[in-house]
Copies of this chain bind each other. A is one copy, B any other.
Amino acid sequence: MKFYGAAVSGNAYKVGILLELLQVPHETVLIDFSKREHKSPEFLQLNPRGEVPVIEDENVVLWDSGACLAYIARKHGGDKWLPADPAGLAAVMQWLSLAASEIQFGLQYARRGLMQKRWTAGTLEQGHAISRIALDAIDQRLQHNDWLALGRPTIADVACFPYVETAPESGLPLEPFPRIAEWLARCRALPRWPKR
């Protein structure tokens, strides 16, 4: 498997986490954002969005971190990290969707805005309002559960982890959310969970 990533990207980090957890042999190709490699015609053929991660495996080419996680989980983890029964799959999907929506357009955009002084989807205040929807949803779930979906770690946790972990870099300290801090620690304590 070929894994196109970039050290700065939390979306690529998600895929890197799962590849380590499941010990999937792979070759990493680092995309250099400073050289705009992610917007090159060759790369846009792999991913029309012009983003990492992308994976290539035999004849399969996939963009989008959630889709990459689903593929790796189903191929290398059986039902453990992403079950196929209707209720189990949908329970995980809720959090993949949150990761693609409020986490991406709240936490990720606010962090990038603060780091790069570049605001492409609203102000910091708007980004924080969207982020809080995600943090509140996660916090509410963790009131009575250790993991986001089902009763065990799944790709729901992997997908939400990176940009929740860096919430302070998005301007949102996690002190008001002790349950979320405990969940982050539980994720990090899983065997082979890689640091960013």
Q: Which residue, A84, A123, A140, has most C-beta atoms of chain B within 10 A?
A: A84
Whether B104 pairs with A86 at a CB distance below 8 angstroms is: no
Specify how many copies of this chain sit in the oligomer: 2
Whether B97 pairs with A67 at a CB distance below 8 angstroms is: yes
Complex: how many Å from CA A168 to CA B45? 27
Whether B91 pairs with A105 at a CB distance below 8 angstroms is: no
Interface residue total, chain A, C-beta cutoff 8 A = 46
User: Chain B residues near A91 (CB, 8 Å)?
Assistant: 62, 67
- Majority SS of interface residues in chain A? helix
- Whole-angstrom distance from the CB of A135 to the nearest CB of chain B? 10
Whether B104 pairs with A90 at a CB distance below 8 angstroms is: no
Whether B122 pairs with A62 at a CB distance below 8 angstroms is: no
- Kindly supply a per-residue 1/0 record for chain A positions 109-130, scoring 1 wherever the CB is within 8 Å of any chain B CB and 0 otherwise: 0000000000111110010011
Complex: how many Å from CA A72 to CA B155? 20
